[in-house]
Amino acid sequence: MTWKNHLYHRVCDLCGKPFDTYNPAQRFCSSDCASVDAYQQEKMRTLRARYKRDVHVTGKLSEKLALAAKDGLSYGKSRAMRERGAVFA
């Protein structure tokens, strides 16, 4: 059975706009929303990889604050990412 037989009513995971689709796996209303989400996911993967590498790095608090600020995170979130092995949602 193909999935072209049933119309699904969904809400976009990014912008919250309702849309209709024949694809049951579709999460976004447009390719623009899908590409924005892909960019955000890639950014988080990069941050996780950076913090996973830096788990055991010690240094001054001011350096850690500067790193967190550069990544757009609070000190607490950056610390949580480091302590949990960069598994952060």
For residue 18, the surrounding DSSP H or E stretch is strand 18-21
- Residue-range definition of the domain harbouring residue 41: 3-83
The pLDDT tens digits of the residues spanning 6-43 come to 899 999 999 999 999 988 899 999 999 999 999 999 98
Average pLDDT over residues 37-58: 76
89 within a domain of the structure (yes/no): no
Name the residue among 8, 18, 13, 41 with its Cα closest to residue 28: 13
* Residue entry with tokens 């550069």: 70
28 within a domain of the structure (yes/no): yes
11 within a domain of the structure (yes/no): yes
88 within a domain of the structure (yes/no): no
63 within a domain of the structure (yes/no): yes
Number of domains making up the chain:
1
pLDDT at 53: 63
